[in-house]
Amino acid sequence: MTIKAVDIKDLQLAEQGRSRIDWALQEMPVIRRLLEQFAERRPLQGGRISGCLHITTETANLARVLIAGGADLVLCTSNPLSTQDDVAAALVADFRIPVHAIRGEDTTVYYQHIKAAMEHAPQITLDDGADLISELHRSGGALLGDMIGGTEETTTGVIRLRAMARDGALKFPVIAVNDAMTKHLFDNRYGTGQSALDGIIRATNILLAGKVFCVVGYGWCGRGIAMRAKGHGAQVVITEVDPLRALEATMDGFQVMPLVEAAARSDFIVTATGDKHVLDAVHIEALKDGCVLANSGHFNVEINIPCLEKLAREKVRVRPFVDEYRFQDGRRIRLLAEGRLVNLAAAEGHPAAVMDTSFANQAMAVEYLVARRGSLANAVHAVPQQIDERVAQMKLHAMGIGIDRLTSEQQRYLQSWQEGT
């Protein structure tokens, strides 16, 4: 297999991509600030970075920060269906960043693109789902020697990396960007809340008001989806395996029930768990005619698609991003975006304003890794609190929002144990 220097759909799309990248940047004030600071300080000078991320307008603006900081960057996609081909073209044409990503690529090409990112011999990796780090550990061999560290953007990736660390398999330090407050509380909740519904609505154009809308999993993404579906006037049902989350969903005003019961009455079911086959044969058998299925988790494993294929009589693509599975008993089940991340496949992913804080954490985490080269253990590390707070401060400042400070009397009170009633 020969590795290409660049593998994108069409360089001619660059002008449109550049215009959309600049549009997104207007909603990314923290990234704009970091762009200036990194250009001035050059904290990543000469560092080889490979990023396996969704190739979107927002990622392009993160890439601008990294190269402004002096990085030698190569990008590949972290999902076969999420690449914005015009953005890939603009990254190559306008920013001279080698990109390996084509929307709709098959699994073989997907892994060729990851190989290309590995051939760059990165010292830092940026992952969204941990596929690049996993491949480096599986077949990277000598490449691991020069590694400084990596970052991970999403919940699913952090879970995989923690499993590697537990097994003693992780060969360099990784920062769990996902776990920063300024990432998951905003991106996972408000980003997924808006963009998952955006994908479902763009794909189906079905009114949500008055429909039964089931969210599988009440983590930060599930909470965001439920909140926004409720805002559309849907009757929201939550299914959970965790008693605390189920209780929280109940107190938040949602109906909670087992998925097999929800399946029989839902018009929409959206998975957001990070786990495999959460919607399985038993649920497929119970689904109501016309039900729309979508996945908002990182991998396309949450809905048991092979089982859907086996149980259905035929599959027809009825609209872009909508496959209708027709059953012997007359039921029609609609699967969106082949069960892949619906927000990135059928829409444009999270809006720039939330990726602003997520990617500010990414850029600052990379700078932190470089500054602490050789001193961090081969483990999954939290984003330092100072970085999290700095990102929040920068965002508030950009939004023109001031906050109060503790007085010295209040600070003393909070630190003392003598003072009571």
The binding site for ligand ADE (CB under 6 A) comprises 54, 56, 58-59, 344, 349-350, 355
Nearer to ligand ADE, 187 or 323 (CB): 187
Question: What is the Cα–Cα distance from 321 to 338, expressed in whole angstroms?
Answer: 7
Query: Could you tell me the smallest distance in angstroms from the CB atom of residue 45 to ligand ADE?
Result: 25
CB of 316 to ligand ADE, least distance (A): 29
- The region, left, alpha or beta by phi > 0 then psi within -120 to 50, assigned to residue 65 is alpha
Kindly tell me which of 58 and 267 has the beta carbon lying closer to ligand ADE. Answer: 58
Mode of pairing for the β-strands spanning 322-326 and 314-319: antiparallel
Nearer to ligand ADE by C-beta: 84 or 266?
Answer: 84
Q: What is the nearest approach in angstroms of ligand ADE to the Cβ of residue 325?
A: 27
CB of 251 to ligand ADE, least distance (A): 28
138 contacts 328 by C-beta, under 8 angstroms: no
Closest distance between ligand ADE and the C-beta of residue 386, in Å?
Answer: 24
Nearer to ligand ADE, 58 or 323 (CB): 58
Question: Residue 292 — φ and ψ, nearest 5°?
Answer: -100, 125
By beta-carbon proximity to ligand ADE, the closer residue of 98 and 349 is 349
CB of 259 within 8 A of CB of 283? yes
Smaller CB separation from ligand ADE, 294 or 344: 344
Residue 17 Cβ vs ligand ADE, minimum distance, rounded to whole Å = 14
Among the residues of 252-384, which ranges form H helices?
Answer: 259-265, 281-286, 305-311, 342-345, 352-371
Q: Which is nearer to ligand ADE, 158 or 249 (CB)?
A: 158
Q: Please, how many CA atoms are within 13 Å of residue 342, restricted to the half-sphere of its CB?
A: 33
Shortest Cβ distance from residue 65 to ligand ADE (Å)? 14
Residue 178, phi then psi, degrees to nearest 5: -50, -35
DSSP strand pairing (268-271 vs 292-295): parallel
Q: What is the layout of strands, in order, in the sheet containing 332-336? A: 255-256, 235-239, 212-216, 268-271, 292-295, 332-336, 322-326, 314-319
Give the three-class secondary structure for 74. strand
Tokens, residue 27? 């909603």
Give min distance, CB of 155 to ligand ADE, in A.
11
DSSP helix/strand/coil, 375 = coil
Report how far residue 132's alpha carbon sits from residue 51's, in angstroms, rounded to the nearest whole number: 8
Q: Which is nearer to ligand ADE, 220 or 325 (CB)?
A: 220
Choose between 158 and 170: whose C-beta lies nearer to ligand ADE. 158
Residue 365 CB, shortest distance to ligand ADE, in Å, is 15
Q: How far apart are the first and last CA of the chain?
A: 74
